[in-house]
Amino acid sequence: MPRLDLTADAVTLTEQLVDIESVSHHEQEIADAVEEALRSLGHLEVSRHGHTIVARTDLGRGERVVIAGHLDTVPLNDNLPVRREVRPEGDLLHGLGTCDMKSGDAVILRLAATVPEPNRDVTFILYEAEEVEAEFNGLTKLSASNPELMRGDFAILMEPSNAGVEAGCQGTLKVEVRTTGERAHAARSWFGDNAIHKAADILARLQQYDARTPVIDGLEYHEGLNAVFVRGGVAGNVIPDECVVEVNFRFAPDRSEADAEQFVRDFFEGYDVTVTDSAPGALPGLHVPAAKAFLEAVGGEANPKFGWTDVARFTGLGVPAVNFGPGDPMFAHKQDEHVPVEHIERCERLLRAWLGGE
């Protein structure tokens, strides 16, 4: 089993973590290494739940914060082992998971190892299966089996955010909007009713959609309603009797899932609408004292998170959460995935100062 050296700096730890292949559903090796490393630290209470590792301080502080990161990656794309690119403007680490999000995991491990008496109690969570269906997600499972381990006054998810704060996240709703008609031979099309032609009105409504941009906690979110797939047709000589337009709605966190669904149903009034997937957004929660102190510690600025992340799993338990991690999310899942070394160092430095470390 590979071993992690918690005395190494966060950049070296990132390299060690990246070279432990951990595609979703295959996290045992990396979870074993993380568990062994954390259990060597006497100031933490460590527990394991599947391939999710939880390590906690219990110092009786007035606040508890949660810092979390996932251990899994998307499938390999000829981008291992890790390599370091030396550049005058700042080095980069290249490789699967460097950005999403083993550099963030390395920062977590360094903080766990080197800040034994933080000014707030801390729960560190390194979890499995973020990159696949929600039923396998380590936080989903933990919230069902041991929700008390995820609770705190504030949570930080080490998702790549260019080493800046991205607060909350938008929700996501996927629906199928269906038209129906009647089949006929294409040579005698007037005996049928073309369902694909009927979908023109659905697309026209989407083209005319006026995006809502609410301001929440001083942050402007931007909703989006878009067709992402269209399917229909039987054969080249048959008038189709069904057409389905798959639509994705990214909604601001001031809407509930029920509100979002109702908006979409009203928008497509007159059509058969079927919900196929839904996940709630997460309010920024920047008014919470721990969040305010964190924001001040990292520069006093935050941006809205437009994509969906696991911060929503914390807010579902009543824990305000933000995204804050090294790496540009635009490079997550790409073959040329990479992270600036400076991002890793900055995230560790700012979090360490916020927790009262040296």
Q: Is the pLDDT of residue 76 over 80?
A: yes
Q: How far is CA 354 from CA 53, 154, 247, 349, 351, in A?
A: 23, 13, 42, 9, 5
130 counts as catalytic? yes
Query: Average pLDDT over the chain, rounded to whole?
Result: 95
Single out the catalytic residue among 72, 128, 131, 241. 72
Residues 257 and 292 both lie in one domain: no
Residues 308 and 162 both lie in one domain: yes
Domain for residue 3, yes or no? no
Q: Is the bond leading into 81 cis (omega within 30 degrees of zero)?
A: yes
Domain for residue 4, yes or no? no
- Among 258, 279, 300, which residue terminates a domain? 279
Residues 268 and 287 both lie in one domain: no
Domain for residue 308, yes or no? yes
Q: Is the pLDDT of residue 162 over 80?
A: yes
As for how many domains the chain has, the answer is 2
CB 207 within 8 A of CB 278: no
Domain for residue 5, yes or no? no
pLDDT of residue 358: 66
Per-residue pLDDT of 5-59, as tens digits, reads 999 999 999 999 999 999 999 999 999 999 999 999 999 999 999 999 999 999 9
Domain range for 24: 10-168+282-354
Residue 318: closest CA among 150, 138, 137, 141: 150
Single out the catalytic residue among 15, 27, 130, 261. 130
The secondary structure of residue 2, as a DSSP letter, is -
Phi/psi of residue 334, nearest 5 degrees: -85, 155
Residues 19 and 148 both lie in one domain: yes
Residues 103 and 251 both lie in one domain: no
CB 98 within 8 A of CB 38: no
Give 55-97 as a DSSP string.
EE--S--S-EEEEEEE--BPPP-S--S-EEE--TT--EEESTT
Residues 15 and 153 both lie in one domain: yes
Residue 331: closest CA among 29, 99, 149, 164: 99
Residues 149 and 206 both lie in one domain: no
Domain for residue 128, yes or no? yes
Give me the percent of the chain exceeding a pLDDT of 90: 88
Residues 153 and 293 both lie in one domain: yes
Residue 158: closest CA among 265, 241, 76, 67: 67
Q: Is the pLDDT of residue 301 over 80?
A: yes
Residues 16 and 109 both lie in one domain: yes
Residues 113 and 214 both lie in one domain: no
Rounded to two decimals, the pTM is 0.87
Residues 38 and 149 both lie in one domain: yes
Residues 188 and 288 both lie in one domain: no
Instruction: CATH number of the domain at 60, please.
Output: 3.40.630.10
* Alpha-carbon dihedral angle through residues 132, 328, 109, 15, given to the nearest 10 degrees: 90
